[in-house]
Structure 1
Amino acid sequence: MFSRTPSGVFRLNSWFHSERLHKRLSLTWISLSLVAIGGAIVFYIFALPQLLRLRIRTDLSWYDLGAEGFGPDRSYLSFDEESPKIEVSPPGAKCDSRYTFLAPRGDSIAHPGPMILDAAGELVWTKWNSGTTQDFKVQRYKGKEYLTYWQGDTDDNYGRGSWYMLDSTYTQKYEISPIGMFDGDLHDFQITSNDTAILMIYDPIPVDLSSVGGPELGWMYDGVFQEVNLETGELLFQWRASDFYSLADSYHPIGDTGHGRTSAYDWLHINSVDKDSQGRYLVSMRHTHTIACIDGTNGEVIWSLGGKRNNFTDISDGAATDFSWQHDARWRGSNRLSLFDNAAYSNDNPSAVSRGMMVDLDFEERQATLLQSYEHPQDMMAVSQGNVQVLDTGNVFVGWGHSAAFTEFSPDGEVVCNSHFGASAWFTFGRVVSYRVFKFDWVGNPLTSPEAALTPNSVFVSWNGATEVASWLVETWDHRSLTNMTFTAVDQVPRDGFETEIPLAAEVDSFFRVRAIHSNGDSLSVTEVLHRPPVSSEEGLYGNPWALGAVVLVALGCLVCGVYFAVHRRLLQRSESSGPYQLVPRKDEEDGDENERLPL
């Protein structure tokens, strides 16, 4: 029983106060704990998987960390498109001098399409294509070099489009589609030494998928390829994977696919077909981890390398046949092949490392040997796409597909030149990708004219696709006739990358043009006539950095002085109003005037 004395009342109030405080603190801690637990769950479910996808290393540059963006690019004054900023390592790398062919795309690419870069990463040619562009390269047909690529859409989870062939003037000469009621698939288009073409098709067909956990009345994408005569359109050969392989050969989980024609189960996923001089087709089937050799006469499977039907003993302790989710299998002789081993198809296994491979096969003994492996110095994991190209120097060129990089190796696997066109720490997010990357010689002679952009004291000039320009010649009007204008050469400067800045000499005071000059001195083309307006006093002020700087300094000085005097005057007014006498409001009870103030 509590005392009624004042001290007792005080103790009682203190007890109630402490109890309420204790309850408040308990509720606060419970609330904070629940918030922390909820935050940890959200972090674990949503944030942690994304953080684990980052490929952080101690040797990454600011470029690789994304300081310049996921896909750093550069723009031009005389040209509307952008090109990637390439980071090359190691310092002083001796990259192959030929042109690089790629088709960048992704959320960080503003204008996707085919693109040619020189060995220094400078833009040579690009074209903004609608939809998706893949497999951009140079191929030979009837003794001439053509640019070839696939273009189409992938809205239904597979490619629907056509293949295009452009000549050296960048003029489209051929558009190729499969024979029959098929859409052309995006993965591969090969012109053979016999001037025929191998085309790929993903054909959705109805099938019972219950054996792999799908619907009994389901759909799957069957892998089909055709060889056709490009000139006549004649179908020369067709092969269908389901005639020789079964659903049980696949490693790809069916998930929620297979319920409709546009969401068919992709059990096989053909992504390359190559043909050798003996008429054998080499087929890469990604989702079965298999490379198959197909008889070019009857379509029978001669052998399978890798996967569940592997026919070879691996005498490299498994290193020659343990590839998975692979791309781009190519003949490199009668008993040698190359491929790109992705080693992953998702980001679930962050320890997976992709590689290029060279494999020797002994057909009599049925033995496979890993001749050489080509691995990125940053342990790259490309969950899709990628390719391996053997250059005529013996070096091996690897495009890392889903990772925005390409690397040149010596034959024994040493890195010669490593190039990135995206921030490598973020590669697994696929912000910038290129299905394949190649090196080729190329001579481009566009039918367009060079483009130019004027500034007060310079002209910027470029010519999309031109590879033969050695220098630019500035020609100014001789002021004789406006109806029949003639020009005189006043300056010549070497070509400097894709876009060259040319300071305008004093002689260029009205109309002028810029001419593209070949290394042999021949004229290639010329810009339209440009007009350099006379330099006015206003233009002279803004064109002179010293005069402009003086004006800016005067303006800033006036602004600072104005602000200072305004603030100083305000402070003086306040100091004068403060003192022993201060006005305070007084309420007049008789007339209710609240505005009258009397001194205290």
Structure 2
Amino acid sequence: MRSLGVVTLAVSALSALPFVLAQDSVSYDIETYGTDDPSGTPFQTYQSNGDIKPPQIHINSNQSGLAEGFVFIGVDGQPTSGQNFPTIFDMSEDRMGTLVWTGNYTEPFDFKAQTYKGQPVLTFMIGELLNGYGHGSFYVLNQSYVEIAHFSPVGYENLGDIHEFTITSDDTALVLVYTPKQADLSELGGAEDGWIFENIFQEVNIETGELVFEWNASTHVGLNESYNSIQDVGTEASPFDYFHINSVEKDANGDYLVSARVMDCVYKISKDDGHIIWRLHGKQSDFDVEDAVNFAFQHDARWVDDDQTRMTLFDNGPTDEIGYSRGLLLAVDQDAMTVRLINQFYNAAQTFAQFEGSLQAIDPSDENTNYFLGYGNQPYFAEFDKDGNILLDAQFGATNTVNSYRAFKLPWQGKPLTKPDIHYDKDGNKAYFSWNGATDVENWIVFTANATDSTTWYNVTSARRTGFETTIDLTDIKLETYVRAKAVNSTGGKLGWTKASDGTSLYDASDDVQEDSNNSTSTSTSTGTSTTAAPTSSSATAAAPSSSTTGAAVRAAQRVIEQVYVVAVVVVGGLALA
């Protein structure tokens, strides 16, 4: 009977709480996904921030057991898609498919979170995608999304390639270069004075720009190892891509692991003089590779452990046996020189990704870690448990008009220097709040005052953040001329204030104010009047298309109401139920 009384009181208290809705649009119906967008690139829009239009995520399936972390996608869409930006998504159970951050950098490649000088950073290559390679430069952003480094390969200004940007434990960068070089192609049926793409990897000191190490393929690997055919290439304008380097990693001993796509081979390169220590697979393999491991056109070869006994790679395929792409977890014995398959990972559709792709051991220190698969030139990603069971199967486009070179699941804490965004729909009695890049916002507290320079703002309601944008219904709540909100973290600590809005424009307002929960009078303490306030911007309050109400949005709203209900039980009942 006692618990029943608590529930009754909680239900009564719940009627005074605002209705909260997640504005993010997430699809669970593949039959309708992207049907309103002829380019096949469905996107989301927000009332509080009309400048961003990230991809709409479609969830094919999701299960419990997902690893912690955010999903990183460097969206590289065709120019007509409008989707060419780095994006971070929250794929946790209660914020599934909602945006965390997107930035104004076009054509990003190898977008991920890394560590530089002991601090978390975002890294990516920005440039131009050409015929299977790219030209551009490399960026490092801090946790406030401010550029702290920007560089090119040494001697190759703005000619950095798309395929790799990894920061080592020595705070150096591993980057690639594709550059034309004359070569005798007669042994392959080409011209004696032909041209190849020289493939180079460099290790560069990010801070000083000094070259630490450089290796090039043509000095160490013969043309006859390639599975590629010359056909109508081999000129200076169209060099023969005989090697196609697409990943490099520095191991715990300082040697380098290199993947070459058209060699069907992974190479271990000596840190001392660049000689090839061994070849794994390909025409001149030094290993006994079991048939189940047979891969082709692979990407993203990585050691999982410092002892170099387990390796991951993305097998694009196809091979004679398998017509779809898959991630491979391999047991590599460098003493016995054998390679065996531990497990393979592929989504329910058995997607074939002709180009690009990645496989990530989410927590390499844990033998039971989950694995994350990115499908490169197809807009899919998936998460698996260690046994290959699908825990998450999702996509960010209806066609490969959009894609992402790699995809990752990584920890990240964003601390933007910008203010949170607000859109106040005065006529509709709703307020919309978001903060691009802020990962720690747990609740929005809504305030009102009769002047932008008021020294006291009245707390009228609060709500848990539901996704990127949270919509709060202010019907029947006593409001004065201006509305704004404070973003707080899970412990109630202040993170930032929005500007003030009267439903027409945005106004600067001090963050150093008194907060009062008693709004029984219509006049708050102020040093001026609302008629003297000058708007700072009106773009964020302009009307914008609202996200479609999907089953996911309804479920998200229902979860929020249920969570508020639990909070109400705790408060009203005075019981520690959490």
Q: After TM superposition, is the score higher than 0.5?
A: yes
Q: What letter corresponds to residue 87 of structure 2 in structure 1?
A: M
Is this contact kept in 2: 1:73–1:82, CA < 8 A?
yes
Alpha-carbon distance between aligned partners in 2 of 1:323 and 1:155, rounded to the nearest angstrom: 25
Q: CA deviation at 1:215?
A: 3.2
How big is each residue's C-alpha offset from its partner over 1:312-343, in whole Å with a ceiling of 9 and x where there is no partner? Answer: 112x3x122x2110000001232221100000
Q: Which residue among 260, 265, 281 is the counterpart of 2:236?
A: 260
2:391 is the alignment partner of 1:421: no
2:31 is the alignment partner of 1:62: yes
- Greater Rg, structure 1 or structure 2? 1
Superposition map of 1:450-465 within 5 A: 450-455=420-425, 456=427, 457-465=429-437
SS at match of 1:437: strand
> Structure 1 residues 533 and 299 mapped into 2: Cα distance closer, same or farther (>3 Å)?
closer
How big is each residue's C-alpha offset from its partner over 1:45-76, in whole Å with a ceiling of 9 and x where there is no partner? Answer: xxxxxxxxxxxxxxx94157967662322211
Alpha-carbon distance between aligned partners in 2 of 1:66 and 1:330, rounded to the nearest angstrom: 38
Superposition map of 1:216-231 within 5 A: 216-231=192-207
Is this contact kept in 2: 1:225–1:240, CA < 8 A?
yes
> Structure 1 residues 156 and 390 mapped into 2: Cα distance closer, same or farther (>3 Å)?
closer
How big is each residue's C-alpha offset from its partner over 1:143-164, in whole Å with a ceiling of 9 and x where there is no partner? Answer: 1010000001134653111111
Name the structure 1 match of 2:300: 328
Q: What letter corresponds to residue 62 of structure 1 in structure 2?
A: E
2:183 is the alignment partner of 1:207: yes
Q: What letter corresponds to residue 476 of structure 1 in structure 2?
A: T
Runs of 5+ consecutive residues of structure 1 not aligned to the other structure = 1-59, 535-600
Superposition map of 1:518-529 within 5 A: 518-529=489-500
Alpha-carbon distance between aligned partners in 1 of 2:405 and 2:412, rounded to the nearest angstrom: 20
Normalising by structure 2, report the TM-score: 0.75
Superposition map of 1:102-117 within 5 A: 102-107=73-78, 109-117=81-89
Alpha-carbon distance between aligned partners in 2 of 1:521 and 1:325, rounded to the nearest angstrom: 51
How big is each residue's C-alpha offset from its partner over 1:374-400, in whole Å with a ceiling of 9 and x where there is no partner? Answer: 122211101011101112251111111
Superposition map of 1:141-540 within 5 A: 141-155=116-130, 158-181=133-156, 183-261=159-237, 263-314=238-289, 316=290, 318-320=291-293, 322-333=294-305, 334-344=308-318, 352-392=323-363, 394-423=369-398, 426=399, 430-455=400-425, 456=427, 457-477=429-449, 479=450, 484=454, 486-505=456-475, 506-532=477-503
SS at match of 1:90: strand
Name the structure 2 match of 1:90: 61
Aligned-pair identity (%): 37
Is this contact kept in 1: 2:424–2:483, CA < 8 A?
no
Q: CA deviation at 1:128?
A: 2.9
Q: CA deviation at 1:454?
A: 2.6
Root-mean-square deviation (CA, aligned residues, Å) is 2.4
Q: What letter corresponds to residue 409 of structure 1 in structure 2?
A: F
> Structure 1 residues 344 and 91 mapped into 2: Cα distance closer, same or farther (>3 Å)?
closer
> Structure 1 residues 169 and 412 mapped into 2: Cα distance closer, same or farther (>3 Å)?
same
> Structure 1 residues 351 and 463 mapped into 2: Cα distance closer, same or farther (>3 Å)?
same
Is this contact kept in 1: 2:83–2:402, CA < 8 A?
no
Q: What letter corresponds to residue 78 of structure 1 in structure 2?
A: S
Alpha-carbon distance between aligned partners in 1 of 2:454 and 2:72, rounded to the nearest angstrom: 43
Q: What letter corresponds to residue 354 of structure 2 in structure 1?
A: V
Alpha-carbon distance between aligned partners in 2 of 1:350 and 1:527, rounded to the nearest angstrom: 57
Name the structure 2 match of 1:34: none
Alpha-carbon distance between aligned partners in 2 of 1:157 and 1:327, rounded to the nearest angstrom: 13
Alpha-carbon distance between aligned partners in 2 of 1:197 and 1:338, rounded to the nearest angstrom: 21
Q: CA deviation at 1:171?
A: 0.4
SS at match of 1:73: coil
Is this contact kept in 1: 2:74–2:110, CA < 8 A?
yes
Alpha-carbon distance between aligned partners in 1 of 2:456 and 2:37, rounded to the nearest angstrom: 46
> Structure 1 residues 98 and 293 mapped into 2: Cα distance closer, same or farther (>3 Å)?
same
How many residue pairs match? The answer is 461
Normalising by structure 1, report the TM-score: 0.73
Runs of 5+ consecutive residues of structure 2 not aligned to the other structure = 1-28, 506-578
Superposition map of 1:560-579 within 5 A: none
> Structure 1 residues 63 and 264 mapped into 2: Cα distance closer, same or farther (>3 Å)?
farther
Alpha-carbon distance between aligned partners in 1 of 2:242 and 2:206, rounded to the nearest angstrom: 30
Superposition map of 1:35-74 within 5 A: 61-63=30-32, 70-74=40-44
Is this contact kept in 1: 2:203–2:211, CA < 8 A?
yes
Q: What letter corresponds to residue 77 of structure 2 in structure 1?
A: G
SS at match of 2:297: coil
Is this contact kept in 1: 2:72–2:111, CA < 8 A?
yes
How big is each residue's C-alpha offset from its partner over 1:18-46, in whole Å with a ceiling of 9 and x where there is no partner? Answer: xxxxxxxxxxxxxxxxxxxxxxxxxxxxx
Is this contact kept in 2: 1:84–1:421, CA < 8 A?
yes
Superposition map of 1:10-29 within 5 A: none
Greater RCO, 1 or 2 (C-alpha within 8 Å, sep 6+):
2
